[in-house]
Chains A and B, each alone.
Chain A
């Protein structure tokens, strides 16, 4: 029991925060704690959840992909293009997923085989893929999506919107993928130490490229959800949302240095961010002021453990001994 508590401490903290945020939100507006409101609000965050799950294995491997929002735009524009041209969804969706996965593969190949820093590569891709999206969509964007493509946004399972079900299914898939498959184990191994993983005969390059491909495909899927939600696709879709997605991943307990993090954490963090934003929207807090809370949450959740440690050190009678451990932690390579 205690071990379980310790293993899931970050997730428990997230659950507590979600409950607190929900309580706070319901004091702001009597309409918050209403299943219809909650579920329709949840729909809006499905897009972010899908991208966050795509980003999750990449970050676990100690890399980053900031181009995902642009990949989403390409995905949404492709979906819309297929729709207006009368391609059946069953054919179009796999094609879109393959195309966006290939965009991810390009990132992955540059990072692994080109030995380039992932931040710089995906910074370039952030612009380039956005360019591709504009190129495909034209300046006006694409409207007039056929109804068969909009099934996801207009159907419910009981009272739950289909897109929310999709997000939960994806969460389950990633939980299995990262917890129960060799891909997952390899990802954690690579994140902890790429060199050690290589020496342990982990196919580091393939696993890395695989993670990027998966991230691309998830963004493509998110692009389809986007089209369902807004019934149109434009080149500037989801511009700037990667910061929110990265916040969700990191807040979910995935170390940006790689090697740790759980799928359930990512899901809970997205729910938490969603709850807070919905609550603040109800309280008429303007969108940009909401970022104040999101930023504080991000810094607080990561910085708090270390801050507590520092305070404890300062108050402890055995300061001398602790200062030595402090120094060891401070050593940039050891830490």
Chain B
């Protein structure tokens, strides 16, 4: 076998995580450290070129930008871990922000209870995605591409080309984005809290472990007796709920909400997830990595703007970073595969 470089091994879903052997774990740690090193290098580079980068004000603005993206990336990670994708997150954000803030503006008596409505919307829309992918067996790219259009069409239909303006919103929503706790934007704390909660859930709850089990090897998970439909639907529901919360945060930040809010954000979110080392083949990667990927993206954007670099170079750089990140992933995966293969067969070549 010329194995490690053939397509078949590269396609094998998330072997890295399934093997869980020391070499694999080490390689994955290296992968995570790689993102951190990249982030540090970026910061050093930007600081050396423009000292304004490393000011407290600027770092705060980086974190603020990263916060929303990090939460969204955490949600997307749940789905990517199962070897699927959710392209509809931007539309879920749009639907939630418009519907919930429209209601909050019309009936102020509801107060913060509207957040529950947001969770419910995310739950339902996520469940629809999950059912389409599992029960109807539609490939996830196609299914969520469809719901991306569907949900966006719904909010456009619902909104009738009107906006929810910032004046209509209750004060508690309006004051959310500018609020600072302990010197940092409330969004940064919310992001931190959500990322940790999801991270701990993934690590400790059976729900989380099943995502990895299924993503590493769907077939093995199925024959092991896991309810594979439920796992994937669970991932989509989680991603939907998180997207709904992001929609609220984004809406509260923007203030004037039209039916196009958050359209196109799915590419940014996917980029963060991929840069953060979550394997697009499923089964490996962590929420923290994805959140870090969001920070890397935000740093790139911020630094290049400070440098006065044109939008064109920013896009080029970001695109290059994505490809570089997956290239490193592929390398790690191959290294792990070849290491474990040698051990299991007992041949050294």
Q: Given the complex, which residues of A lie within 8 Å of B327, measured CB to CB?
A: 110, 114, 116
Using CB atoms, name the residue of chain A closest to B87: A243
Residue in B closest to A137 when the chains form the complex, CB atoms: B312
Measured between beta carbons, the chain B residues less than 8 angstroms from A130 are 315, 319
Residue among A123, A250, A307, A329 making CB contact with B271, cutoff 8 Å: A123
A:74-115 near B, CB below 8 Å: 110, 114-115
Residue A54 interfacial (CB < 8 Å): no
- Binding stretch for chain B, among A13-21, A29-37, A211-219, A287-295: A287-295
Query: Could you tell me if A306 and B319 are in contact, using CB atoms closer than 8 angstroms?
Result: no
B264–A240 touching, CB < 8 Å: yes
Could you tell me the dominant secondary structure of chain A's interface residues? helix
Query: By the criterion of a CB under 8 Å from any partner CB, how many residues of chain B are at the interface?
Result: 63
- In the complex, whether B137 has a CB less than 8 A from a CB of chain A is yes
Query: Most chain-A Cβ atoms within 10 A of its Cβ — which of B143, B145, B274, B313?
Result: B145
Contact partner, A291, options B153, B274, B323, Cβ 8 Å: B153
Residues of B217-268 at the interface with A, using a CB-CB cut-off of 8 Å, are: 218-219, 222, 228-229, 259-260, 263-264, 267
Q: In the bound complex, do residue B330 and residue A306 qualify as a contact, i.e. CB atoms below 8 Å apart?
A: no
A25 within 8 A of B: no
Segment from A145-153, A180-188, A296-304 that makes contact with B? A296-304
Give chain B nearest CB distance to A290 CB in angstroms: 7
Q: Contact mask A116-149 → B, CB, 8 Å, 1/0?
A: 1101110111111111111100010000000000
B326 near A120 with CB under 8 A, answer yes
Question: Interface size of A by Cβ–Cβ distance < 8 Å?
Answer: 58
Label chain B's interface by main secondary structure.
helix
Q: Is the Cβ of B147 less than 8 Å from the Cβ of A299?
A: yes
The contact of B161 among A115, A286, A296, A335, by CB within 8 Å, is: A286
A residues near B156, Cβ cutoff 8 Å: 286, 288-289, 291-292
Knowing A123-B267, A131-B313, the reply to whether A303 touches B138 (Cβ < 8 A) is yes
Complex CA gap A291/B6 in Å reads: 40
Check B16 for interface membership: any CB of A closer than 8 A: no
- Tally of contacts, chain A with chain B, CB under 8 A: 186
Q: Please, which residues of chain A bring their CB within 8 A of the CB of B280?
A: 117, 119-120
Task: Give chain A residues whose Cβ lies under 8 Å from the Cβ of B150.
Answer: 291-292, 295-296, 299
Interface bits A239-251 vs B (CB < 8 Å: 1, else 0): 0100100110010
B228 x A132 contact (CB < 8 A): no
Which residues 35-91 of A have a CB within 8 angstroms of B?
64
Tell me whether B137 and A299 are in contact (CB under 8 A).
no
Residue numbers in A under 8 Å from B325 (CB-CB): 120
Interface residues of A in 284-333 (CB under 8 A from B): 286, 288-296, 298-299, 302-303, 306-307, 310, 329-333
Residues on A facing B (Cβ under 8 Å): 64, 110, 114-117, 119-121, 123-135, 139, 194-195, 198, 204, 235, 240, 243, 246-247, 250, 256-257, 286, 288-296, 298-299, 302-303, 306-307, 310, 329-333, 335
A-B contact pairs, 20 of them (CB 8 A): A119-B141, A123-B319, A127-B267, A127-B318, A128-B315, A130-B315, A240-B263, A250-B145, A257-B139, A288-B156, A292-B154, A293-B153, A296-B150, A299-B143, A302-B136, A302-B143, A303-B132, A306-B136, A330-B222, A335-B137
* Chain B residues with a Cβ under 8 A of chain A: 5-8, 10-11, 85, 132, 135-139, 141-143, 145-154, 156-157, 161, 218-219, 222, 228-229, 259-260, 263-264, 267, 270-271, 274, 280-281, 310-323, 325-327, 330, 334
